[in-house]
Protein backbone atom coordinates (compact mmCIF):
# COMPACT_ATOMS: atom_id res chain seq x y z
CA UNK A 1 0.00 0.00 0.00
CA UNK A 2 1.34 3.42 -0.99
CA UNK A 3 2.53 5.60 1.84
CA UNK A 4 0.51 8.82 2.17
CA UNK A 5 3.59 11.00 1.92
CA UNK A 6 5.07 9.31 -1.15
CA UNK A 7 5.41 11.69 -4.10
CA UNK A 8 6.82 11.79 -7.62
CA UNK A 9 10.33 13.16 -7.92
CA UNK A 10 13.42 13.65 -10.07
CA UNK A 11 17.02 13.87 -8.93
CA UNK A 12 18.47 17.31 -9.59
CA UNK A 13 21.85 16.75 -7.97
CA UNK A 14 23.60 14.26 -5.71
CA UNK A 15 26.95 13.96 -4.01
CA UNK A 16 28.68 11.54 -1.67
CA UNK A 17 27.83 11.99 1.99
CA UNK A 18 29.75 10.32 4.77
CA UNK A 19 30.97 6.79 4.05
CA UNK A 20 28.15 5.10 2.15
CA UNK A 21 25.38 7.70 1.86
CA UNK A 22 24.46 10.39 -0.65
CA UNK A 23 23.09 13.88 -0.23
CA UNK A 24 20.38 14.22 -2.87
CA UNK A 25 18.40 17.22 -4.09
CA UNK A 26 15.02 16.14 -5.47
CA UNK A 27 12.53 18.08 -7.55
CA UNK A 28 9.00 17.23 -6.40
CA UNK A 29 5.60 18.90 -6.81
CA UNK A 30 6.18 20.21 -3.29
CA UNK A 31 9.39 21.91 -4.35
CA UNK A 32 13.10 21.20 -4.12
CA UNK A 33 13.83 18.80 -1.28
CA UNK A 34 17.22 17.76 0.13
CA UNK A 35 17.55 14.35 1.75
CA UNK A 36 20.09 11.78 2.84
CA UNK A 37 19.96 8.46 1.04
CA UNK A 38 21.48 5.75 3.22
CA UNK A 39 23.51 2.97 1.64
CA UNK A 40 23.62 4.91 -1.63
CA UNK A 41 26.32 2.63 -2.98
CA UNK A 42 23.95 -0.29 -2.80
CA UNK A 43 20.84 -1.11 -4.81
CA UNK A 44 19.09 2.18 -4.09
CA UNK A 45 22.03 4.21 -5.31
CA UNK A 46 21.50 3.06 -8.89
CA UNK A 47 18.34 5.20 -8.98
CA UNK A 48 20.17 8.37 -7.99
CA UNK A 49 20.73 9.76 -11.46
CA UNK A 50 19.03 12.60 -13.31
CA UNK A 51 15.95 12.33 -15.52
CA UNK A 52 14.60 9.11 -13.98
CA UNK A 53 10.96 9.48 -12.81
CA UNK A 54 10.86 8.34 -9.20
CA UNK A 55 8.49 7.89 -6.35
CA UNK A 56 10.11 8.96 -3.09
CA UNK A 57 9.08 8.92 0.53
CA UNK A 58 10.86 11.60 2.54
CA UNK A 59 10.90 11.50 6.30
CA UNK A 60 11.71 14.24 8.79
CA UNK A 61 10.50 17.73 9.55
CA UNK A 62 13.73 19.67 9.07
CA UNK A 63 15.18 20.94 5.79
CA UNK A 64 17.47 17.92 5.59
CA UNK A 65 15.25 14.86 5.35
CA UNK A 66 15.87 11.13 5.04
CA UNK A 67 14.84 8.95 2.12
CA UNK A 68 12.50 6.31 3.49
CA UNK A 69 11.65 4.70 0.16
CA UNK A 70 12.78 5.23 -3.42
CA UNK A 71 11.32 3.50 -6.48
CA UNK A 72 11.22 4.11 -10.21
CA UNK A 73 7.97 5.47 -11.58
CA UNK A 74 7.74 5.06 -15.34
CA UNK A 75 10.36 5.15 -18.06
CA UNK A 76 13.47 7.31 -17.80
CA UNK A 77 14.07 10.09 -20.31
CA UNK A 78 17.23 8.93 -22.06
CA UNK A 79 19.04 12.07 -23.12
CA UNK A 80 22.19 12.29 -25.18
CA UNK A 81 24.29 14.95 -26.89
CA UNK A 82 22.86 18.46 -26.76
CA UNK A 83 19.64 17.18 -25.23
CA UNK A 84 21.66 15.85 -22.27
CA UNK A 85 23.42 19.19 -21.82
CA UNK A 86 20.02 20.88 -22.00
CA UNK A 87 18.64 18.64 -19.26
CA UNK A 88 21.65 19.38 -17.08
CA UNK A 89 21.06 23.08 -17.71
CA UNK A 90 17.46 22.79 -16.49
CA UNK A 91 18.64 20.99 -13.36
CA UNK A 92 21.27 23.62 -12.65
CA UNK A 93 18.73 26.43 -13.05
CA UNK A 94 16.43 24.73 -10.57
CA UNK A 95 19.25 24.13 -8.11
CA UNK A 96 20.34 27.76 -8.29
CA UNK A 97 16.96 29.51 -8.34
CA UNK A 98 14.26 27.32 -6.81
CA UNK A 99 13.82 27.90 -3.07
CA UNK A 100 13.81 24.81 -0.89
CA UNK A 101 10.42 23.34 0.02
CA UNK A 102 8.37 25.89 -1.96
CA UNK A 103 5.57 23.97 -3.77
CA UNK A 104 5.47 24.42 -7.56
CA UNK A 105 3.35 21.56 -8.96
CA UNK A 106 2.86 23.27 -12.35
CA UNK A 107 6.62 23.71 -12.71
CA UNK A 108 7.15 20.04 -11.87
CA UNK A 109 4.69 19.07 -14.60
CA UNK A 110 6.38 21.40 -17.09
CA UNK A 111 9.76 19.90 -16.23
CA UNK A 112 8.41 16.39 -16.82
CA UNK A 113 6.99 17.35 -20.22
CA UNK A 114 10.20 19.14 -21.19
CA UNK A 115 12.29 16.04 -20.41
CA UNK A 116 9.95 13.94 -22.54
CA UNK A 117 10.26 16.44 -25.39
CA UNK A 118 14.06 16.48 -25.12
CA UNK A 119 14.12 12.68 -25.23
CA UNK A 120 11.95 12.81 -28.36
CA UNK A 121 14.54 15.04 -30.09
CA UNK A 122 12.25 18.05 -30.30
CA UNK A 123 14.02 21.35 -31.22
CA UNK A 124 15.99 22.45 -28.17
CA UNK A 125 15.76 26.24 -28.24
CA UNK A 126 11.96 26.59 -27.94
CA UNK A 127 11.94 24.02 -25.13
CA UNK A 128 14.65 25.80 -23.16
CA UNK A 129 13.16 29.25 -23.63
CA UNK A 130 9.70 28.03 -22.61
CA UNK A 131 11.08 26.42 -19.47
CA UNK A 132 13.09 29.52 -18.54
CA UNK A 133 9.99 31.64 -18.92
CA UNK A 134 7.87 29.23 -16.84
CA UNK A 135 10.53 29.26 -14.12
CA UNK A 136 10.62 33.06 -14.04
CA UNK A 137 6.82 33.15 -13.90
CA UNK A 138 6.62 30.59 -11.08
CA UNK A 139 9.17 32.54 -9.04
CA UNK A 140 7.32 35.82 -9.55
CA UNK A 141 9.95 37.36 -11.83
CA UNK A 142 8.01 37.34 -15.10
CA UNK A 143 6.96 40.50 -16.94
CA UNK A 144 4.49 41.40 -19.67
CA UNK A 145 5.67 40.81 -23.23
CA UNK A 146 2.77 42.62 -24.89
CA UNK A 147 2.97 45.91 -23.02
CA UNK A 148 5.64 48.23 -21.67
CA UNK A 149 6.29 49.50 -18.15
CA UNK A 150 3.79 52.32 -18.72
CA UNK A 151 1.00 49.93 -19.66
CA UNK A 152 1.16 50.82 -23.35
CA UNK A 153 0.86 48.06 -25.97
CA UNK A 154 4.19 47.04 -27.47
CA UNK A 155 4.60 48.66 -30.89
CA UNK A 156 5.98 46.32 -33.54
CA UNK A 157 8.11 49.15 -34.95
CA UNK A 158 9.47 50.28 -31.57
CA UNK A 159 12.67 49.49 -29.69
CA UNK A 160 12.65 48.22 -26.11
CA UNK A 161 15.04 47.39 -23.32
CA UNK A 162 14.43 45.11 -20.36
CA UNK A 163 14.35 46.63 -16.92
CA UNK A 164 14.52 43.46 -14.86
CA UNK A 165 12.81 45.02 -11.87
CA UNK A 166 9.95 46.51 -13.89
CA UNK A 167 9.53 45.15 -17.42
CA UNK A 168 9.99 46.42 -20.96
CA UNK A 169 10.76 50.09 -21.51
CA UNK A 170 10.49 51.80 -24.89
CA UNK A 171 13.58 53.73 -25.95
CA UNK A 172 14.27 56.06 -28.85
CA UNK A 173 18.05 55.77 -29.13
CA UNK A 174 19.73 52.63 -30.42
CA UNK A 175 21.90 50.95 -27.75
CA UNK A 176 23.24 47.44 -27.08
CA UNK A 177 20.87 44.76 -25.88
CA UNK A 178 17.63 46.15 -27.30
CA UNK A 179 14.66 44.21 -28.67
CA UNK A 180 12.32 45.16 -31.48
CA UNK A 181 8.62 45.30 -30.76
CA UNK A 182 8.06 42.75 -33.52
CA UNK A 183 10.38 40.29 -31.75
CA UNK A 184 8.62 40.78 -28.42
CA UNK A 185 5.17 40.33 -29.94
CA UNK A 186 6.36 37.10 -31.57
CA UNK A 187 7.60 35.87 -28.19
CA UNK A 188 4.29 36.78 -26.58
CA UNK A 189 2.63 34.39 -29.05
CA UNK A 190 5.42 31.77 -28.79
CA UNK A 191 5.87 32.19 -32.56
CA UNK A 192 9.31 30.60 -32.85
CA UNK A 193 9.25 30.76 -36.64
CA UNK A 194 9.09 34.56 -36.72
CA UNK A 195 12.32 36.24 -37.94
CA UNK A 196 14.77 36.68 -35.08
CA UNK A 197 12.40 35.24 -32.47
CA UNK A 198 14.65 32.46 -31.16
CA UNK A 199 17.73 34.67 -30.91
CA UNK A 200 15.73 37.44 -29.24
CA UNK A 201 14.24 34.94 -26.78
CA UNK A 202 17.69 33.67 -25.84
CA UNK A 203 18.99 37.20 -25.25
CA UNK A 204 15.88 38.19 -23.30
CA UNK A 205 16.05 35.17 -21.01
CA UNK A 206 19.78 35.68 -20.45
CA UNK A 207 19.11 39.24 -19.33
CA UNK A 208 16.12 38.26 -17.18
CA UNK A 209 17.92 35.39 -15.43
CA UNK A 210 21.32 37.05 -14.96
CA UNK A 211 20.35 39.22 -12.00
CA UNK A 212 18.88 36.22 -10.15
CA UNK A 213 21.74 33.84 -10.96
CA UNK A 214 24.45 36.25 -9.86
CA UNK A 215 28.06 36.30 -11.09
CA UNK A 216 28.84 32.60 -10.66
CA UNK A 217 28.81 31.02 -14.15
CA UNK A 218 26.59 28.07 -14.97
CA UNK A 219 28.60 24.87 -15.39
CA UNK A 220 26.14 23.54 -17.99
CA UNK A 221 26.67 26.60 -20.21
CA UNK A 222 30.40 25.93 -20.15
CA UNK A 223 29.71 22.35 -21.25
CA UNK A 224 27.71 23.68 -24.19
CA UNK A 225 30.58 25.94 -25.23
CA UNK A 226 33.14 23.13 -25.01
CA UNK A 227 31.12 20.43 -26.78
Compare 5 and 207 and report the one with higher pLDDT. 207
The answer to whether 111 and 118 are in contact (CB under 8 A) is no
The answer to whether 181 and 158 are in contact (CB under 8 A) is yes
Rounded CA-CA distance 15/23 in Å is 5
Rounded CA-CA distance 20/13 in Å is 17
The answer to whether 189 and 146 are in contact (CB under 8 A) is no
Cα angle value 215/146/171 (rounded, 5°): 65
> 219-226 vs 81-97: helix axis angle to the nearest 10?
160
The answer to whether 94 and 138 are in contact (CB under 8 A) is no
Rounded CA-CA distance 177/54 in Å is 41
- Distance between alpha carbon 225 and the CA centroid of its chain, in Å? 19
Q: pLDDT band at 97, cuts 50/70/90?
A: very high
pLDDT per position as a tens digit, 68-93: 889 998 778 789 999 999 999 999 99
To the question of pTM greater than 0.85 for the whole model, the response is: yes
Signed CA dihedral, 62, 67, 71, 75: sign only: positive
Scanning the chain, the segments in alpha helix (DSSP H) are 81-97, 105-119, 124-138, 181-188, 197-213, 219-226
Compare 145 and 44 and report the one with higher pLDDT. 145
pLDDT per position as a tens digit, 49-73: 899 999 999 998 888 999 988 999 8
Amino acid sequence: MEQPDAQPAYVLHSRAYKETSALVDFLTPQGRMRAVLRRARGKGGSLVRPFVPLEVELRGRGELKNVGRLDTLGIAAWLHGDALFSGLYLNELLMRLLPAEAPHPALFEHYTLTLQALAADRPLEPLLRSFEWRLLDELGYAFALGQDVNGQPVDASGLYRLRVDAGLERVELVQPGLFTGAELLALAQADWDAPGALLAAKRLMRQALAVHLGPKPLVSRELFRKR
